[in-house]
Amino acid sequence: MVLNTTFEEFPALAERYAPGHPVFVTETDQGPCATVFNPDQQAMVRALGHDKGAVVFKLEQAGFEVLEGGWSNEVPKVGPTWLCAVAYRSSEKKPGLWVGMMEKPTTAEEVIKTMYEEFQASGDVEDLPLTEFMRLAEPNILVLDPEEQADLRHRSKDD
């Protein structure tokens, strides 16, 4: 459980819910963030300050061990990704499907080359040139940019 509070209230609440635990301070785009976590109670106290130096000074004056870093209950945000999928004719009776994520805008050619290199590395295609691989696989390539993925999520929620 996370208790968000003002920085003025933070020392008293940190002592109440996580006594003896170090306080971590890190700079965020909203200012310095102080967090303390009590693993026994699964309790975290979090507050934003205005000046990191002042935050650290006040916490040390209050008797806390202050370390660089921060506790979080959120999944770290990653940059935009492009979802890539390739349906292809396989050696089995059913078609194959390859799915990947790219961290930058990508083309169908880059996607098929990435898939081909992955297949080569795993031994699925050994001495087959890329052009022959493409002829045999008859790939159907899909690339969804971040906006298209958001539209798809939005449509899925409406159903």
pTM for the full predicted model: 0.52
Whole-Å CA distances, 108 to 82, 141, 144: 11, 6, 11
Domains of the chain: which residue ranges?
A: 2-68, 82-158
pLDDT in tens, 80-111: 889 999 999 998 999 999 999 998 999 999 99
Distance from C-alpha of 129 to C-alpha of 4, rounded to nearest angstrom: 58
Tell me how far apart the alpha carbons of residues 71 and 39 are, in angstroms, rounded to a whole number: 11
Q: What is the mean pLDDT of the chain?
A: 90
Cα angle 102, 89, 149 (rounded to 5 degrees) comes to 30
Q: Average of pLDDT values for 30-47?
A: 92
Q: Which CATH class is domain 2-68?
A: alpha beta
- d(CA 144, CA 105) in angstroms, rounded, equals 10
pLDDT at residue 125 in the model: 85
What whole-number distance in Å separates Cα of residue 86 and Cα of residue 102? 13
